[in-house]
Amino acid sequence: MSTGSLQFEITDLRGNPLNDMVTVALTPVSVNDAGSPMATPPTALAGTSIDVNGIQCFGAGTAYTVSVSANHFQTVPFVKIIHEGDNSADPVRLPVNPAKVVGLSTPAYDTLPAHLQEILTESQLIDYRPDPANNPTVFLQGKDLYNAMHPLQKACLLNIAKKASDVATTGNCFPGIGPIMRLDQDRFFAKADPALFTTTSQSSLFAPASDLLHTPLPFYNKHSSFKSKDPHGNIQLTFMVHSVTGDFAVDVDIDEAQGFGHVLELIRNIFQGLTNPYQVREVLILANSDFLLDPGYDFVFQGAESARA
Examine the fold and report which residue of 75, 94, 113 is the final residue of a domain before the chain moves on. 94
Same domain, 116 and 21: no
Q: Which long-range contacts (CB under 8 A, 24 or more apart) does 42-49 make?
A: 42/71, 44/20, 44/305, 45/10, 45/17, 45/18, 45/19, 45/20, 45/21, 47/17, 48/9, 48/10, 48/11, 48/17, 48/18, 48/91, 49/7, 49/8, 49/9, 49/10
Residue 245, phi then psi, degrees to nearest 5: -85, -20
Which pLDDT band, with edges at 50, 70 and 90, does 4 fall under? very high
Distances (CA, A) of 291 to 97, 166, 216: 20, 12, 33
pLDDT digits (tens, 9 = 90+) for 42-53: 999 989 999 999
What mean pLDDT, rounded, does the chain reach? 89
Please state the rounded mean pLDDT for residues 29-46.
87
Same domain, 180 and 37: no
Please state the rounded mean pLDDT for residues 30-48.
88
pTM above 0.85, yes or no: yes
Q: Is the pLDDT of residue 305 over 50?
A: no
Contact 17, 45 (CB under 8 A): yes
Domain-embedded: residue 13: yes
pLDDT digits (tens, 9 = 90+) for 140-170: 999 999 999 999 999 999 999 999 999 999 9
Domain-embedded: residue 257: yes
Domain-embedded: residue 9: yes
Q: Is the pLDDT of residue 273 over 80?
A: no
Same domain, 66 and 170: no
Q: What range does the domain containing 27 cover?
A: 2-94
Residue 260 confidence (pLDDT): 46
Query: What percentage of the chain exceeds 70 in pLDDT?
Result: 89
Same domain, 207 and 80: no
Residue 159 confidence (pLDDT): 97
CATH of the domain at 10: 2.60.40.10
Residue 209, phi then psi, degrees to nearest 5: -135, 160
Domain-embedded: residue 308: no
Alpha carbon 209 to its chain centroid, in Å, reads 22
Same domain, 178 and 82: no
**Burial group, residue 123, by CB count within 10 angstroms (0-12, 13-18, 19+):** buried
Residue 85 confidence (pLDDT): 96
Buried b (16+ CB within 10 A) or exposed e, 47-79: ebebebeebbbbeebbebebbbbbbbbbebeee
Examine the fold and report which residue of 59, 78, 94 is the final residue of a domain before the chain moves on. 94
Same domain, 178 and 277: yes
Q: 16-30, 249-263, 284-298 — which is least confidently predicted? A: 249-263
Q: 12-16, 234-238, 305-309 — which is least confidently predicted? A: 305-309
Q: ∠ CA(76), CA(68), CA(294), 5° rounding?
A: 55
Domain-embedded: residue 112: yes
Q: Is the pLDDT of residue 304 over 80?
A: no
Residue 309 confidence (pLDDT): 74
Which pLDDT band, with edges at 50, 70 and 90, does 257 fall under? low
Which pLDDT band, with edges at 50, 70 and 90, does 308 fall under? low
Greater pLDDT, 309 or 189: 189
pLDDT digits (tens, 9 = 90+) for 110-142: 999 999 999 999 999 987 776 666 666 778 999
Q: ∠ CA(272), CA(276), CA(279), 5° rounding?
A: 110
Same domain, 193 and 112: yes
Same domain, 59 and 108: no
Same domain, 167 and 221: yes
Same domain, 248 and 167: yes
Instruction: Quickly count: other Cβ atoms within 10 Å of residue 262's Cβ.
Output: 9
Examine the fold and report which residue of 50, 66, 94 is the final residue of a domain before the chain moves on. 94
Please state the rounded mean pLDDT for residues 1-27.
95
Tally the domains of the chain.
Answer: 2
Contact 157, 172 (CB under 8 A): no
Same domain, 152 and 256: yes
Same domain, 266 and 136: yes
